[in-house]
Amino acid sequence: MFIGGEWVVAVDGATREILNPANNQVIATVADGNEKDADRAIRAARQAFDEGPWPSMPAAERAKLLLKLADKIDAAGGGLAALETRNNGKPLREAKFDVADAANCFRYYAGLITKPLGQNYEVPDPAISAMVVREPIGVCGQIIPWNYPLLMAAWKLAPGLAAGNCCILKPAETTPLTAIKLFELIADAGFPTGAAQLLLGPGPTAGNALAASPLVDKVAFTGGTATGRKVMTAAAGNIKKVSLELGGKSPNIVFADADRDLALEYAMFGIFAGQGEVCSAGSRLLIERSIADQFLPRLAAACDKIVVGDGMNEKTEMGPLITRDHMRKVLGYIDAGKQEGAEVLCGGRRLSGPGLDAGNFVAPTVFVKTKPAMKIVQEEIFGPVLAVQLFDTEQDAIRLANDTVYGLAGGVFTRDTAKGLRVLKKLRAGITWLNTYHPTFNEAPWGGYKQSGIGRELGTFGLEAYMETKQININLAPTKLGWFANV
């Protein structure tokens, strides 16, 4: 763990073995902290914020350090990507993309923090000069999941640090390795003591302590909706600022007039990229009924050909699920789909055979003949499981698309741009795409409607989420008020 500018072991000396999900072999042993370690990290961050140089350092100086870090991430690129694949399982080509994106996230916020912030405003009193300044919030606890370990660390640390906060990052206990490497680079870059701490340990202890502590001013969380609810509840004690990026059950809508080759590939990319362990996964495919008979057999044939295996193999197109437990959970959903009467179009089972038995591999799975109330249609499975729903009209598609508690993302495929825009505007979701799925930019806000979260990350919105807003009123003509007769 990296706390107060030093590498430390857990207070209780506990450690945890880290597994490679492709074969469940131990690849590292790391410190495993709890509430005591969280307390130590919180106090270090508190002291750094209240007494240290970071919050008041000129933005240009903070930006220099962030740019230095970005260059170091790029320089460590190949090694970082391989480490991510070995720890998380995702194919190497995806991990390489994440590393480049993480470096650019630090660059983006280094640039943004040096741009104009705040405003002057006219008030109806000529004696008052009024302005708004933006300030860091303080100590920020940042809890991230296992599906994008390095990228989620960047999404949290880059805006948090750029704004001048002192941060405590808690990675998922299963995937701390690229975060550890990132903090080696942070230490190397020369950030002031206490600007950023790395806290390792389980969510219910170390993570909950960050959410609950009265010394923490903000908690930023990415993960499942059920855990997000717990974080929000724990954060209520001192009315922390809370930002939550939670789950989804996002619709990918294919109209009959779509470019069907394009729609087919993106239907697959939408759900099978990252093994479906992606918050914005297009896990529901809504197809106009008139093309279903033509589209679905092609989809099944293409899904059966997806190369599943160890992400380190260059030919691999889809890797293993994160843990044995998570694989069991995903297989449980597949069973539930079958029991509720949906039909397996392809996949629907654990994969076995040489190179697969020891890992957590599930076949790319597509369900048809679903009903809107089924678990596989309503709940976030977070695995390679696609539920197909059929629709007849534009209104029908919109109604089905919005018919879950989530509202993270959504895609539409049509050659009729006006229709596409009409539908996107009706989606109750924060991230939408026309004739594409998944492109994500550091420049654009990321977050959800409904139970998919609160607040936005990335873009200018992502920086706002790490700043307080203060109004300053200056009396240019100080004269006695004359309110009280005897003063």
Nearer to ligand NDP, 391 or 446 (CB): 446
For position 224 contacting ligand NDP by CB under 6 A, the verdict is yes
Residues 6+ apart with CB under 8 A from 97: none
Q: Which two tokens stand for residue 170?
A: 């808690």
Cβ pair 122, 151 in contact under 8 A: no
Long-range contacts from 300-303, C-beta under 8 angstroms, 24+ separation: 300/345, 300/346, 300/366, 302/264, 302/268, 303/268, 303/272, 303/346, 303/347, 303/364, 303/365, 303/366
Q: Which two tokens stand for residue 426?
A: 């009706």
For position 348 contacting ligand NDP by CB under 6 A, the verdict is no
For position 227 contacting ligand NDP by CB under 6 A, the verdict is yes
Taking CB under 6 A as the binding criterion, the range among 139-147, 155-163, 433-441, 470-478 that sits at the site for ligand NDP is: 139-147
For ligand NDP, which residue has the nearest CB? 203
For position 203 contacting ligand NDP by CB under 6 A, the verdict is yes
- State the minimum distance, in angstroms, from the CB of residue 305 to ligand NDP: 27
For position 143 contacting ligand NDP by CB under 6 A, the verdict is yes
Taking CB under 6 A as the binding criterion, the range among 99-107, 177-185, 224-232, 433-441 that sits at the site for ligand NDP is: 224-232
Nearer to ligand NDP, 21 or 207 (CB): 207
- State the minimum distance, in angstroms, from the CB of residue 172 to ligand NDP: 4
406-407 vs 241-245, strand pairing mode: unpaired
Give the x/- contact pattern for ligand NDP in 300-339, rule: CB under 6 A: -----------------------------x----------
- CA gap 9, 5 in Å, rounded: 13
108, 109, 295, 382: residue in contact with ligand NDP (rule CB under 6 A): 382
Taking CB under 6 A as the binding criterion, the range among 8-16, 50-58, 206-214, 391-399 that sits at the site for ligand NDP is: 206-214
Nearer to ligand NDP, 28 or 300 (CB): 28
For position 21 contacting ligand NDP by CB under 6 A, the verdict is no
104, 222, 250, 442: residue in contact with ligand NDP (rule CB under 6 A): 222
Residue type, 323: T
- CA gap 388, 296 in Å, rounded: 9
In the block, which residue shows the tokens 């914020």?
49
207, 319, 320, 430: residue in contact with ligand NDP (rule CB under 6 A): 207
- Beta bridge partners, 417, equal none
Active-site residue identified among 84, 245, 288, 457: 245
Q: Is 204 helix (H, G, I), strand (E, B) or coil?
A: helix
For position 355 contacting ligand NDP by CB under 6 A, the verdict is no
- State the minimum distance, in angstroms, from the CB of residue 210 to ligand NDP: 7
32, 39, 310, 380: residue in contact with ligand NDP (rule CB under 6 A): 380
For position 34 contacting ligand NDP by CB under 6 A, the verdict is no
Residues 6+ apart with CB under 8 A from 353: none
Backbone angles phi, psi at 169, to 5 degrees: -95, 130
Q: Which two tokens stand for residue 432?
A: 């939408």
Centroid of chain to Cα 200 = 18
Is 166 catalytic? The answer is no
- State the minimum distance, in angstroms, from the CB of residue 343 to ligand NDP: 24
Is 84 catalytic? The answer is no
Kindly list the distances between the CA atom of residue 79 and the CA atoms of 25, 74, 86, 169, 285, in Å, as whole numbers in the listed order: 19, 10, 11, 21, 36
Per CB under 6 A, which of residues 259..298 are in contact with ligand NDP?
Answer: 279
Taking CB under 6 A as the binding criterion, the range among 66-74, 217-225, 355-363, 469-477 that sits at the site for ligand NDP is: 217-225
Per CB under 6 A, which of residues 230..259 are in contact with ligand NDP?
Answer: 230-231, 246-247
For position 172 contacting ligand NDP by CB under 6 A, the verdict is yes
The closest alpha carbon to 33, from 64, 70, 59, 7, belongs to 7
Q: Is 183 helix (H, G, I), strand (E, B) or coil?
A: helix
Cβ pair 73, 185 in contact under 8 A: yes
Helix ranges (DSSP H) in 379-434: 394-401, 417-426
Residues in contact with ligand NDP by CB under 6 A are 143-147, 170, 172-173, 202-204, 207-208, 211, 222-224, 227, 230-231, 246-247, 279, 329, 380, 382
* Residues annotated as catalytic (active site), given as ranges: 245, 279
